[in-house]
Copies of this chain bind each other. A is one copy, B any other.
Amino acid sequence: MSEERTEINSLGEFGLIELLTKNIEIQQASTILGVGDDAAVIDHFGRQTVISTDMLVEGIHFDLMYTPLKHLGYKSVVVNLSDIYAMNATPTQITMSIAFSNRFSVDALNEFYEGVYAACEKYGVDLIGGDTTSSQKGFVISVTAIGEVAPDKFVKRSTAEKGDLLCVSGDLGAAYLGLTLLEREKQIYLESPQLQPDLENQTYIIGRQLKPEARRDIIEFLQEQDIQPTAMMDVSDGLSSEILHICKQSNLGVVLYEEKIPIANETKEMALKFSLDPTAAALSGGEDYELLFTMKQADYDKIVLSEQISVIGYMTDISEGAHILTKGGNKFKLVAQGWNAFQQ
């Protein structure tokens, strides 16, 4: 027997999840969809319940040095609601569990919960339970969101088809540039605490990082237009990683057009200041919480006038692989860490 220790980072998060969940056997007839998508789906006598859960850890997912607790509370809820919308479902309830060390005061927790309640009110969901407990160090947040969807209306990642259009909502890369700016100011502050932070009036990109919204409006728009996406997920880890999930789970290839990737002017300008490629920020930045989906070409006319939806490519046979066509006319293999492709 081998005595070697398997290190977690040798697998990566998705490898680890795959390893830990590969032996799951579904026992309940009501379990329609389990591990492996944005959310799970449970049948409840005609309608379906959608469940998603996320854990946020201080020092890993957020830095309290530049994250107001109220924004953190808001964001903790929103990122989970985003997973429910990504199933084409409507969130209805959440549970919220937190662990915190004794460096937090009641007022600090109240501020956090103000953000939680603000998000609940905005999205019409109820906080129905949770747990508050101590931690030895740091702040840990675990949210479970529950939603509902009409039978067979939920949308998985695995059901895109060859020829489908690849679409994304809003714009990408801003949250990453917001984070980059906040991190720069943090470093400056740590070196020279007397200097005032210079956030350069970058309210758009900082807002995208600290107070993201979930795209309920897109789900409502798709319903109004009678569009059933063929596959969908939210963009939390960066566009290229998410596109590759849809390709892998749908067993397809993809062509992505760099020039079609929606990037806000504020994002482009800040990328320039940091000498970053805006496309790289969109492909790999993460935390945009936009919706990435595929749909039938026949539905194109229904979205063409929407300023909030961009068609960025199309699905191909798996044998054609996953590629990005650059503005310069080059064709690169799409990899999860998007910018690597450009640097080679």
Contacts and interface: CB of A to CB of B under 8 A. Distances in A.
Nearest to A105: B5
B39 A129 contact: yes
A13 interface: yes
A11 interface: yes
A31 B105 contact: no
The interface residues of chain A, by DSSP majority, are classed as mixed
Contact of A117 (B7, B23, B58): B23
A223 interface: no
Nearest to A135: B57
A20 B140 contact: no
Given A97-B142, A137-B136, A142-B53, A92 B34 contact: no
B6 A105 contact: yes
A140 B137 contact: no
Q: How many copies does the complex hold?
A: 2
Interface string A5-34: 111111101001101110111111011011
Given A28-B124, A107-B5, A54 B19 contact: no
Given A126-B28, A135-B138, A98 B42 contact: no
Interface of A: 5-11, 13, 16-17, 19-21, 23-28, 30-31, 33-35, 39-40, 42, 44-47, 49, 51-61, 92-93, 95, 97-100, 102, 104-107, 109-110, 113, 117, 120-121, 124-138, 140, 142, 144, 146, 148
